[in-house]
Chain A
C-alpha cells in the first residue's frame, strides 16, 4: 500500500529526514513513535505531500513519485487521493457545521451526488458517535468531539490510508479515550493507517508494526508491539525508559 525509499527532507539546512525506508501493507496499522523532533510528523506529512521531500520515492496506492524533479500538480493530486489526514489541531472548518465539514470536499472535489454524500456522512457521524452534534459549529464542541468529526471528515473521501498526526496530543486527558476508541474501531475494520503517537499503551494494543524514529532515521522497527515490549536498540530503550519515569 505504501512504499517509501530513501526519503530525505531538510528545512533550511536542518536535515529532518535523513534516509527513510519503510513499507505499509494493506490493512496494516503502523505506529510511528519517537522523541519530539525525531521527524515523525514530517514523515507523515510527506506521505500526502503537505511537505515536499527533497529526495527519494513514495509509492502509495497505484501512484509513485520520485522527488528528483519539481512536482507536477497532477502528481500531487494523484498521491493525495489515496490518503486522508487527521491533524493534531483538528483543523475543522469553523464556518461550517459538522455535517457541512464532511460534505464539502466530496461535493466540490469529487462532484458526488449531494444526497448520497449526505447519507454517507451521516452514517460516518453515527460511527464516530457525533450524530447528535451534526448541526453544530466546531466552536461549540469539545476537543474530543472536534477530533472525532475530523476523523469522519477524512473518512468520507474514502481514503485507502488514514494518516493520524498525534491525534490526541492537543486533547484534555479525559477526552483522549473517546478518540482512541474511534481509531481502534477503524483498525478492527481493517482500515490501513499510519499513526504518529505518544500514547504507548495505545500503540502497543493497536499496532501491527511499530517504527521508532530518532534524529531523522528509523532506528528500529518490528512486528506487533515488539519495539515497545522488547526494544533492541539502546536509543529505543532509553526513550521508553524515560517515558516510564513519568
Chain B
C-alpha cells in the first residue's frame, strides 16, 4: 500500500525503483538468513529422531560408535528379539493393552466433554457461575495434589490393577481443558440453527446430536487427537494403577525393558521405542491441521 501511494506522489520514479530493488535485496538476504536458521534448528531438532530410526537397525556395538543415520551392518535383530520381550508376553500384547486403554478413554472424553460444554454454553441454570469457576479451578489445579486420595478411592472401589482408574475420570469430563476448549468453540457458533430446530419440536438431546455435534466436529476431532496422544504417552497413571505385567501398556513395557535388558541389548529397546512412537507420529501427520488449530485456538499444553 505504501508503495502505491509513493509512486503516485513522488516526483522521481527512478529513486523509487532503486529503493524497491534495495528492498527486494534486503528481503532476499533476510529470507536466506531465516531459511538457514530454520533449517539448522530443524535438523538439530529432528536428528535425534532420525538417528533413533537408524540406530534401531544397528548392531548393539554400532549404536554407541556410529553417530550417522545409516547402519553399517543393518539387522532386524532389535525388532525380532525386542518384539518377543523378556516377559512371557510379546510387544503386541502391550500394544493391544495400550489401545484398550486409549480407545474407551477417548470415546468417554468426547461424549462427556461435549455434553458438559453444551450445558455450559447453551443453558442458564442455578449455580452456573460457581460451576464454571470450578471448571477453571480444575484446569489450573495441579494433579499432584489429588493423586494420593484418588488412589485410595480407587483402592476402596476395588479398581486397582484394572483400567477403570484410567477410564472413569475422563468419562466424567475430568479433563477440564477439553471442556473449556469446546465451550469456547461453541460460544463462537451462532445459535440460529439450534433455535430453529427447537421451534420445530426437536428436544435438546436431538439438537445436540444432529445440529451441535456436526458443527463442533473440528474442535471435537482436536480433543480426540490430543487425548489419544496424551494417553499413549501417559506413564504415571499406569505406573500407579497397573501392577500385572499382562496389563501393561507400552509405556510401562518400555520402562520394564530398560530395567531388564538395557545393560547390553540396546537395539531391542530402541526398536521398540520406534514402534511405540509410530502410531502417534502417523496420527499426527494424518491430522496435523487439527493439532495446530486446536493448539492455536484453545491453547493446549504440550
Partners in one complex: no
